[in-house]
Amino acid sequence: MNKVVGSAREALVKAGLQDGATIMAGGFGLCGIPENCITAIHDMGIKDLTVISNNCGVDDFGLGILLQTKQVKKMISSYVGENAEFERQYLSGELEVQLVPQGTLAERCRAGGAGIPAFFTPTGYGTVVTEGYETREFDGKMYVMEEWLKADVSIVKAHRGDHSGNLVYRKTARNFNPMMAQAGKITIAEVEELVPIGELEPDHVHTPGVYVQYIFQGTNYEKRIEQLTLTPR
Amino acid sequence: MTDLSPRDRIVQRAAKELQDGFYVNLGIGMPTLVANHIPPGVDIVLQSENGMLGIGPFPFEGDEDADLINAGKQTITELPGTSYFSSSESFEIIRGGHVDLTIMGAMEVSQEGDLANWMIPKKMVKGMGGGMDLVASAKRVVITMTHTSKSGAPKLLKKCSLPLTSQKCVDRVITEMAVFDIDNGRMTLRETAPGLTVDDIRKVTEAEFEVADKLEVM
């Protein structure tokens, strides 16, 4: 078994990413984002994408660069405040946006990978975001029904991975990557350190390789910090 | 607590809500400042919705780590006992009712405990992030906010005018002027800032409230 490819572009070509596809991109803000795959999608000019990701990067980095080139038709996210171009395209109607509560977004992706078509959550009950949704009472409390989310291609970032696609994440760079790895029909993983099979401690694998179709050694990570906040010495 | 700025008064009073052994989620903005005033002898664990328990202080220059941020995208550090997990697990912790206390800000709170703190139609639509999950499932929700808006309009209302974050979810409201409790759809004034009367509070509060038998000073 060898899932290793040479680059983001090679992975995306093999994955058959086309105009109009739905993709999931891991990351929280700029933390744990699949930088190489995002750049490759930008360079390949693939457009009319539906992008499922918690945020949309900033104007000139992360998923924000796909907005600059109008490659995104629809965003499904929980918070898009850090991106002025996003707000502009949203308010002008150029960009379709579905805002989903973060926990619901996480669970919808998990459900997509886990084969659970729908679940009930109390989140958003009685608010504008769940208007028209089916509701049900359990133990005296009201819940709304939410459906799974799946992607044609999921692009995820991990710290270490092996040739069979086993992944280990680092600190808060984990965030949405595991669930999105599960929910992609094809999952591409980019890692900071690609190792041979047998190098990863089995008890320490976060995402078993069964979910991953392609993996490659990432390069030139900028790992930009959005809000550098320090304690004065 | 005299001669405090409104912000400091709110933050220092909110820190008294922390109890030993609590797992706490602090919303972005003013609530994060509560972590600077943890009472002595009180041990708490702070959760970051992006997948961490055991948030430590901001790093010293040179120690910052791009893989280690809080929900507000600020760089942080870890502590002995810190753990990391995925976003779905983070919200299992939240939705499953395992967080003892959630402190967050608000634009409006209604007398029945409805909360609006995520959008102003056509003006500010950045998204709700994890806020709706937090208040829908929290064991205890404490709101920290200024008593009135910048233009002097009341923020404690009969009914919220802005789109709701959740219905009937607020347990306590702390402003620079007062502390209110909300139980079973009824608001009660529990504490006032030094030097303020109940009438002072009524003048800037649209919501209907009762006054506690034993009204205390903040």
Band of residue B3 on the pLDDT scale cut at 50, 70, 90: confident
pLDDT band at A7 (very low <50, low <70, confident <90, very high): very high
> Residue written as tokens 């220092």?
B12
Residues from chain B that touch A102, judged by Cβ atoms under 8 A, are: 49, 87, 91, 128-130, 133
Write the pLDDT tens digit of every residue in A198-217: 999 999 999 999 999 999 99
Contact B95 A103 (CB under 8 A): yes
**Tokens (6 digits) for A80:** 């898009």
- Kindly report, residue by residue over A142-188, the tens digit of the pLDDT: 999 999 999 999 999 999 999 999 999 999 999 999 999 999 999 99
CB contact under 8 A, B73 and A177: no
Told to judge if B210 belongs to the known catalytic residues of this protein, a careful annotator would answer no
With CB atoms and an 8 Å threshold, state whether B90 touches A106: yes
Q: B61 and A230: CB-CB below 8 Å? A: yes
Q: Is the pTM of this model over 0.90?
A: yes
In one letter, which amino acid is A28?
Answer: F
In our burial notation (b when 16+ CB lie closer than 10 A, e otherwise), range A12-35 reads beebebeeebbbbbbbbbbbbbbb
Distance CA A181, CA B160 (A): 40
> Searching chain A, which residue's CA lies closest to the CA of residue B131?
A101
Give yes or no for a contact between B138 and B99, defined as CB atoms under 8 angstroms apart: yes
Contact residues, chain B, for A223 at CB < 8 Å: 66-67
Query: pLDDT category, A14, cuts 50, 70, 90?
Result: very high
> Is the CB of B68 inside 8 Å of chain A's CB atoms?
yes
Q: First-to-last CA distance in chain B?
A: 7
Q: Which residues of B157-172 are buried (b: 16+ CB within 10 A; e: fewer)?
A: beebebbbbbbebbbb
Burial of A54 (0-12, 13-18, 19+ CB in 10 A): buried
Judge whether A50 and A21 are in contact, CB under 8 Å.
yes
Question: Residue A1 — very low, low, confident or very high, per pLDDT cuts 50/70/90?
Answer: low
Quick one: average pLDDT of A126-142?
Answer: 97
Cβ–Cβ < 8 Å for B116, B160: yes
Kindly state whether B165 is in contact with chain A, defined as any CB-CB distance less than 8 angstroms.
yes
- Reply yes or no on whether the pLDDT at A67 is more than 90: yes
Q: Residue A184 and residue A120: Cα distance in Å, rounded? A: 22
- Cross-chain CB nearest to B84 (options A78, A123, A174): A174
ipTM of this predicted structure: 0.96
CB pair distance less than 8 Å for A172 and B48: yes
Higher pLDDT, B59 or A91: B59
List, as ranges, residues 161-220 from A with C-beta within 8 Å of B. Answer: 169-179, 206
Rounded Cα gap, residues A52 and A194, in angstroms = 26
Record: contact A127-B76, CB cut-off 8 A = no
User: CB-based contact (8 Å) between A111 and chain B?
Assistant: no
Q: How confident is the model at residue A2 (pLDDT cuts 50, 70, 90)?
A: confident
- B163 → closest Cβ in A128, A169, A223: A128
pLDDT band at A84 (very low <50, low <70, confident <90, very high): confident
pLDDT digits (tens, 9 = 90+) for B18-71: 999 999 999 998 999 999 999 999 999 999 999 999 999 999 999 999 999 999
